[in-house]
Structure 1
Amino acid sequence: MFSIKELVESNCLKSVPSNYFCLKNPEDSILYYEADNIPTIDFSQLTSSNLNERSKGIQQLGNACRDWGFFKLINHGVSETLMDKMLRASQRFFDLSEEEKREYAGGKVLDPIRYGTSFNLMVDKALFWRDYLKCHVHPHFNVPSKPHGFSETVDEYITKSREVVGELLKGISLSLGLEENYIHKRLNVELGSQFLILNFYPPCPKPELVMGLPAHTDHGLLTLLMENELGGLQIQHKGRWIPVHALPNSFLINTGDHLEILTNGKYKSVLHRAVVNTKATRISVATAHGAPLDTSVGPAPELVGDENPAAYRAIKYRDYIHFQQSNELDRRSCLDHIRI
């Protein structure tokens, strides 16, 4: 199977192969420009020594998780230099020859390093306009040895992103009325899973016919995303698709399925998708953070009661990833399969 990059470069595409056509509902093309309403969280408030400032930041964080499942994060402490360096390293990986990249073509969902195209070639009814690299980078660090310097940049970046997510999870615990380290302790976050996902979306002559990635939710607790200057992320809010425009030097954060499970539905994971354009390549760098793979994630007992019974059955993180990654993305959350 050609990678989408190889297909585009070898054919100088003026049309789209039919196996990339994605059937869409008419309403999918309607965008509601409410981007200004997307919450922005100031990370410096969450770590402030000023109790009033921190309390305000925690309340805003909880509201964003409850009402949107998504927010922009500013003043996060990760240098713009490192963010740019990570984006450039990602580009250099995808610029490797196809022969070099295929050295990392894993065959199993949880292979430590997996390079591929689309989402799951075994089940996709239509192929997606996307190549990817997925690496399981914590608690064990697995990344390609090429290109030169790639692993060092990734190591620095994922360490910083893990620190940011750790502080966000403390704020989320407090926003739920729980002890600051509740999520860390309950799910052993310090030894938890961190995945790095690099996405490569080249320009497409007919972007209205294809999808970079269709509507889906993410596994895990939180996903931290950055992208190059070309946006393409859209989130669903109250049944409407909203395009996301990142602020300079910001991260885009969405809540994952396991945060919804843990909070017994109080905080929702959000449907989102990636679209492509005719102009240039979009690259995004995502880090997904969750529990250790063999940890069973269920609703927190403190958030379950007679008036709020458990809404989800507990499931081992490893099993959840296997289910999600082994099936077609079909506009629904995998949570539908474990609701009580």
Structure 2
Amino acid sequence: MASAAATVVPSSSSSSTKIHHGSEITSIKAFAESNGSCPIPSTYHSLTEPRDDVADHLAASIPVIDFSLLTSNDPQIHATTVQQLANACSQWGFFMLTNHGISEKLMEEVMEKSHEFHNLPLEEKEEFADKGPLTPIRHGTSFHPEAEKVHYWRDYLKVMTLPQFNFPHKPPGYKELGFEYSRKIRGVARKLLKGISESLGLEPESIIKSTGFDSGLQIFAVNLYPPCPEPDLAVGLPPHSDHGLLTLLTQNGIGGLQVKHTGKWVNVNPLPNCLIVNTGDQLEAVSNGRYKSVMHRAVLNNRDTRISLVLVNGPDLDKEIGPELGLLENEDPLFKTMKYRDYFEIQQKTRFAYKSGLDEIRKCL
């Protein structure tokens, strides 16, 4: 998606808008535009691990899965790719997905409209102010400023696009593109879950049925990370895992995503027009620990605005989720069952630098 990086959307006059509520910054984009190259507030000194602890030599080892081979009608080609998927999920919890069937044009258009949304004046986005994790459409900054001791250098839009479709009504055309893109991503995620079920020795539809995936949650999130004058002090998002089954991500050509592998941080350099996929907490529980929920973070730069388009795909909110029964014939369950809605709310309310959500359901054996 190299051409998306060159897209320039005129900036709004948000720097002249009120960007503080009391002592809190309500938009890091507006603050960054008005603050220029001045030092950042100490409340944004959030980098807790050294930036130089990055294993660049591992970047070329990030697995690549060819979706067209996974969905091939040739049994041998399909079986070989299912094994590659198993290796990617067990060894990395992370892979790049090529030939996924979603047009580059659609991906670029969604990215452009997402940038336009973030460039709307603050007054036009106030109706979407975050009112809690289960609010259908929410816009805000950092992660959970009211409960944080340190803040993160990002603004976000988060929309629940499934089981019911919600979306902002502006900018014009964004809603229609959001609907098309979210549905195509869901189709890709569904086929990946079938392959993952097979890789675990289960029937292809097992995880889909047991998690209620077809009536499950999908969150469409757009993260915007403005240039940061002191990128060695702050992060866009701290180390965290995702709460769902599978997260599918693309970005605007600006790097910043890092994944943790064998104790080291690895820069992600996506292939053109690929989707970045990572496994989430619910897949770790469902697979009884075979496929770990991967830790990742967003680091910053002092030159370019990074935008990531993230679709979290999860179970039905009212389903009790736990290890697949087909995996428990010869092993003990490592996780307790918990309704996904309850898990989601726990994970959203905690400071997610630690995997406290999974700690809530992990059994002490």
Compute the TM-score of the two structures, normalised by the length of structure 2: 0.91
Q: Match of 1:182?
A: 206
Counterpart residue type for residue 304 of structure 1: L
Q: Match of 2:238?
A: 214
C-alpha contact 1:271 1:333 (8 A) present in aligned 2: no
Question: 1:187: how far off?
Answer: 1.4
2:284 to 236, 249, 260: 260
Q: Match of 2:65?
A: 41
- 1:333/1:268 CA distance change after superposition, 3 Å: farther
1:127 to 131, 151, 154: 151
- 1:237/1:246 CA distance change after superposition, 3 Å: same
Question: 1:29: how far off?
Answer: 3.3
- Ranges in structure 2 where 5+ consecutive residues have no aligned partner: 1-24
Q: Match of 2:137?
A: 113
Q: Match of 2:191?
A: 167
Query: In the alignment, does 2:89 pair up with 1:62?
Result: no
Q: Match of 2:42?
A: 18
C-alpha contact 1:217 1:333 (8 A) present in aligned 2: no
Q: Match of 1:315?
A: 338
C-alpha contact 1:3 1:131 (8 A) present in aligned 2: yes
SS in 1 for 2:76: helix
Mapped partners of 1:49, 1:311: distance in 2: 35
Q: Match of 2:10?
A: none
Compute the TM-score of the two structures, normalised by the length of structure 1: 0.97
Query: In the alignment, does 2:78 pair up with 1:30?
Result: no
Mapped partners of 2:52, 2:355: distance in 1: 18
Give the number of equivalent residue pairs.
338
Query: In the alignment, does 2:128 pair up with 1:104?
Result: yes
Alignment of 1:144-155 (within 5 A): 144-155=168-179
Question: 1:301: how far off?
Answer: 1.2
C-alpha contact 1:214 1:330 (8 A) present in aligned 2: yes
% same residue: 48
Question: 1:337: how far off?
Answer: 2.2
Query: In the alignment, does 2:28 pair up with 1:4?
Result: yes
Q: Match of 1:285?
A: 309
Query: In the alignment, does 2:187 pair up with 1:195?
Result: no
SS in 2 for 1:72: strand
1:33-57 deviation line (CA, Å, top 9, x unaligned): 1111110000001111111111111
C-alpha contact 2:55 2:265 (8 A) present in aligned 1: yes
C-alpha contact 2:26 2:140 (8 A) present in aligned 1: no
Question: 1:25: how far off?
Answer: 3.4
Mapped partners of 1:336, 1:238: distance in 2: 20
Query: In the alignment, does 2:355 pair up with 1:337?
Result: no
My pick for the range that moved more, 186-195 or 164-173, is 186-195
SS in 2 for 1:81: helix
C-alpha contact 1:215 1:332 (8 A) present in aligned 2: no
- Ranges in structure 1 where 5+ consecutive residues have no aligned partner: none
Question: 1:23: how far off?
Answer: 4.6
